[in-house]
Amino acid sequence: MKIDLNGKNILVTGGAGDGLGQGICEAVDQSGGRVIVNDLTLEMAQRAAEKYKNAFAVEGDISKADDVSRMFDRIREECGIIHGVVNNAGIGLGKNAHEASETEVDRLYEVDVKGIWMVCRAFVKQLLASNEVGHIVNISSVQAFATMHRMALYAGAKSAVNGLTRGLAVELGQYNIRCNAVAPGLIYSEQSLSIIGKWTPDPVKWMEDHKSDHQCLNFFTSARDCGNVVVFLLSELSRSITGQTICVDNGTINLLYNNEYTS
Ligand SMILES: NC(=O)c1ccc[n+]([C@@H]2O[C@H](COP(=O)([O-])OP(=O)(O)OC[C@H]3O[C@@H](n4cnc5c(N)ncnc54)[C@H](O)[C@@H]3O)[C@@H](O)[C@H]2O)c1
């Protein structure tokens, strides 16, 4: 038994990122799917697409309605129908809620919540208009389940992603369209290091301490670990799963206490 996405066009937003984006695109590519790599600029998307056997690059800011609609038109012209969407594009905000500005909060919710909704909307409309079936995987975060200082706003945005995931599953089940989410734990990526760097001068050490103290499993979750779960959720092996958010976090959210206190 193997995951087979042969003949499927899979759009990965923010796919040019060297974190989750890369792990997801790699997994889609290796399961035979055609990766449609989206990112903010065509150059970024093309540079990433060159890494895969079967990929197409498309630019677009998912927080802008015109960009989303232009992107879907372009994909339709060049690749045909999209069979799966991975809403990976996202930004962070490592600031206490009472210290953040309105502009920062607007941008966070525009990309991490409204952007996902707009991509889902365009995808579902396209599927229904052509009588096709496809599936959605949203990238959430463990922060939606348990959070920490400076993350209330991000935790709120990712909680909205979980709610949207559940609600879309309810609304779209009648069309056999499934919608699930993957909630990664801490992953080594530029986004992680730059956010952690806001409160410690040594983000790499902070991540090492997280690995030993705050996870059940003593190794880092890789972007590819998340990509593997994403392709499972896009494939027919998960045909009975919808509305779920699966944590891919080496057990982080199971720990009530830091390992140091109790082992
Ligand atoms: N890194 C982690 O530890 C971690 C943990 C949990 C969840 N996540 C989530 O995983 C996803 C990817 O995170 P990452 O750490 O790989 O980030 P990253 O910053 O390395 O990559 C994100 C990519 O999205 C693109 N992007 C940003 N805004 C965009 C927009 N408006 N339109 C199109 N593309 C846009 C960026 O250019 C970038 O290439 C995000 O949704 C993030 O919240 C990350």
Return per-residue pLDDT of the chain as tens, 263 residues: 899 999 999 999 999 998 999 999 999 999 999 999 999 999 999 999 999 999 999 999 999 999 999 999 999 999 999 999 999 999 999 899 999 999 999 999 999 999 999 999 999 999 999 999 999 999 999 999 999 999 999 999 999 999 999 999 999 999 999 999 999 999 987 778 888 998 899 999 999 999 999 999 999 999 999 999 999 999 999 999 999 999 999 999 999 998 888 87
Residue matched to tokens 């937003």: 13
H/E segment holding residue 259 = helix 259-262
Which domains are present in the chain?
Answer: 9-188+221-251 (3.40.50.720)
Which residue has the least CA distance to atom 25 on ligand 1? 14
Residues 178 and 135 sit within 8 Å (Cβ to Cβ): yes
Could you tell me which residues are beta bridge partners of residue 138? Answer: 87, 181
Looking at ligand 1, which atom is closest to the CA of residue 140?
A: 7
What contacts 50, CB < 8 A, 6 or more positions away? none
174 Cα–ligand 1 center, Å = 31
Instruction: Kindly report each contact of residues 236-242 with a partner whose C-beta sits within 8 Å and lies 24 or more positions away, as own/partner.
Output: 237/1, 237/3, 238/178, 238/180, 239/178, 241/178, 241/180, 242/169, 242/173, 242/178, 242/179, 242/180
- Please tell me the distance from the alpha carbon of residue 191 to that of residue 2, in angstroms, as a whole number: 32
CA-nearest residue, atom 2 of ligand 1: 187
Residue 218: phi, psi to the nearest 5? -90, 55
Q: Active-site residues: which are they?
A: 154
